[in-house]
Amino acid sequence: MTRLEHRARAPDLSIALVNNMPDAALAAAERQFVGLVEASRGELTVRMDFYALSRVPRSVETRMAMAPRYGDLDDLLAAPPDVLIVTGAEPRAADLADEPYWAELTQLIDWARSGGVAAALYSCLAAHAAVLIADGVRRRRLPAKLSGVYAAEVASRHELTKGLGTPLTPHSRYNDLDERELTDNGYLILTRSDRAGADAFVKEGATLEAFWQGHPEYEADSLAREVRRDLQRFASGATGIPPPLPENYLSPEAHAQLEAYVAEIAHGGVLTGESLPLATLAPEAAFWAKSSRGLMGAFLAAAFRRKRLRSAAQAAEMSCARL
């Protein structure tokens, strides 16, 4: 299950990545989070292990490919990490509680929040699930999909926002969380924007919990892949309206190209991967990468501090027990 390891024994942080992404995006999500951790860890040594919820729908072939490297929830609970990272997932139900993996996800989040790990990071749908499970905060359907890269402002001074400047974050979602409802339930908004709402927020109790509504882990072509997929669904008739084009991401030429394809599809045209190559859509580099490294680096540093505090408290308790 180990993928990223920088010391054979006693890494500064052991990290469990619970990958809930669908088959087509599973490897990309793994690569993106591993890459972001590696780029952000600084002097910290880390070990990353991979896990998956058994009720996330998957093909037999994908399950077989995952088996040698991915553990299940029981494996994770039997060997608790220092840090938990839970990816988003492709939404299948209007109500999160109707997702097939809901019981497993609830068990995982309840365990983490009760102090099972020093720190937890929930991404996109996992963030929506965590606040619903813990505090009954329900996501709200947006009028249209939010897609693009958005500049945010730092809303609160916190160790997780140190040195962030003006964060840039990719977003790709159909749902949102109400900022006031979050703050009323004890969450601290870290970064926000008028367009994307609460970008990142945090809550601290037995565990330091960080939440990302966006996707700092995205690679340069991630949004391009998504819009091409959504256009293919529109072309096949699976969706009745064309997808919104990513904001603040496309070059003027790419935007014009996509608009032309939307018009062509609307008149019965067929879209293929060859007719819309990613190289013509995606920027050459992820121009939000510096912000992403800042967010993840601050989270990992805070997680390490929490781990040391917990270790010191446990050592003190053991000393008192011997008296």
Burial degree of 74 (CB within 10 A; 0-12, 13-18, 19+): exposed
**How far is it, in rounded angstroms, from Cα 256 to Cα 317?**
64
Task: Give the active site residues.
Answer: 124, 215, 217
Query: Which tokens hold the place of 85?
Result: 């990272």
- Phi, psi for 191 (deg, rounded to 5): -135, 145
Q: Are the CB atoms for 207 and 116 separated by under 8 Å?
A: yes
**Helix, strand, or coil here: 120?**
strand
Same domain, 110 and 244: no
CATH code of 77's domain: 3.40.50.880
State CA 223 to chain mean position distance.
14
Q: List all residues 6 or more positions away from 43 whose beta carbon is below 8 Å from its beta carbon.
A: none
pTM of the entire structure?
Answer: 0.93
pLDDT given for residue 280 in this prediction? 86
Instruction: List average pLDDT for each run of 10 residues in the chain, which is 323 residues long.
Output: 56 98 97 98 97 97 97 98 96 93 98 97 98 97 96 96 93 96 98 96 97 98 93 85 94 92 76 69 96 97 96 71 63
Same domain, 121 and 228: no
Same domain, 56 and 114: yes
CA dihedral 32, 33, 35, 39 (to 10 degrees): 130
pLDDT given for residue 1 in this prediction? 43
For 6, the domain range is 2-219+286-322
- Report how many domains make up the chain: 2
pLDDT given for residue 60 in this prediction? 98
Same domain, 182 and 71: yes
pLDDT given for residue 9 in this prediction? 64
Domain boundary among 280, 298, 313: 280
Same domain, 269 and 189: no
Same domain, 145 and 255: no
Same domain, 113 and 248: no
End-to-end C-alpha distance for the chain, whole angstroms: 41
Same domain, 86 and 45: yes
Same domain, 131 and 191: yes
pLDDT given for residue 323 in this prediction? 61
Paired strand residues for 203? 209
pLDDT given for residue 4 in this prediction? 58
Total Cβ atoms within 10 A of residue 230: 19
Same domain, 246 and 194: no
pLDDT given for residue 10 in this prediction? 84
